[in-house]
Amino acid sequence: MTNIDDLFARWDAVDQYLEARYVPTEDVLETVLNNTEAADIRAINVAPNQGKMLMLFAQMCGAKRILEIGTLAGYSAIWMARALPQDGQIISLEYDPRHADVARKNIALAGFADKVDVRVGLAVDSLAQMVEAGEGPFDFIFIDADKPSNPQYLDYALKLSRPGTVIVADNVVRDGAVIDAHSSDPNVQGVREFNDLVAASPRLNATAIQTVGSKGYDGFALAIVLAE
What are 95-133's pLDDT values in tens digits? 999 999 999 999 999 999 999 999 999 999 999 999 999
Distance (Å) of CA 129 to CA 121, 135, 136? 11, 9, 11
Radius of gyration, CA atoms only, the chain: 17
Please report the domains of the chain, with CATH numbers, ordered by start residue.
4-225 (3.40.50.150)
Return the closest-CA partner of residue 153 out of 182, 181, 121, 126.
126
Q: What is the mean pLDDT of residues 35-40?
A: 96
pLDDT at 93: 98
Strands 216-225 and 140-143: unpaired
What are 60-86's pLDDT values in tens digits? 999 999 999 999 999 999 999 999 999
The pTM of the full predicted model, rounded to 2 decimals, is: 0.96
Identify the H or E element spanning 75.
Answer: helix 75-81
Q: What is the mean pLDDT of residues 151-175?
A: 97
Residue 2 has pLDDT above 80, yes or no: no
